[in-house]
Amino acid sequence: MGKKLITVQVNGRNVEKAVEPRTLLIHFLREDCQLTGAHIGCETSHCGACTVDIDGQSVKSCTHLAVQCEGADVRTVEGLAEAGVLHAVQEGFYKEHGLQCGFCTPGMLMRAYRFLQENPNPSEDEIRFGMSGNLCRCTGYQNIIKAVQYAAAKLQQTQKVPA
Answer whether CATH 3.10.20.30 is correct for domain 4-77. yes
Cβ density class 39-56: b for 16+ within 10 Å, e for less: bebeeebebbbbbbbbee
What does the pLDDT read at residue 132? 96
Residue spans in the chain of domains classed CATH 3.10.20.30: 4-77
In which residue ranges of the chain is CATH 1.10.150.120 found?
A: 88-159
> Residues 46-68: what's their mean pLDDT?
97
Under the banding of pLDDT at 50, 70 and 90, the label for residue 62 is: very high
Predicted confidence at residue 160, as pLDDT, reads: 65
Q: Is it the case that residue 162 has pLDDT exceeding 60?
A: no
Output the pLDDT for position 98.
Answer: 95
Q: Could you read off the pLDDT of 107-139 as tens digits, one per residue?
A: 999 999 999 999 999 999 999 999 999 999 988
CATH code 1.10.150.120 for 88-159? yes
Q: Give the closest residue to 24 by CA, choosing from 47, 43, 48.
A: 43
Looking at residue 161, its pLDDT comes to 52
Instruction: Count CA atoms within 13 Å of residue 9 on its CB side.
Output: 8
**Average pLDDT for 56-78:** 97
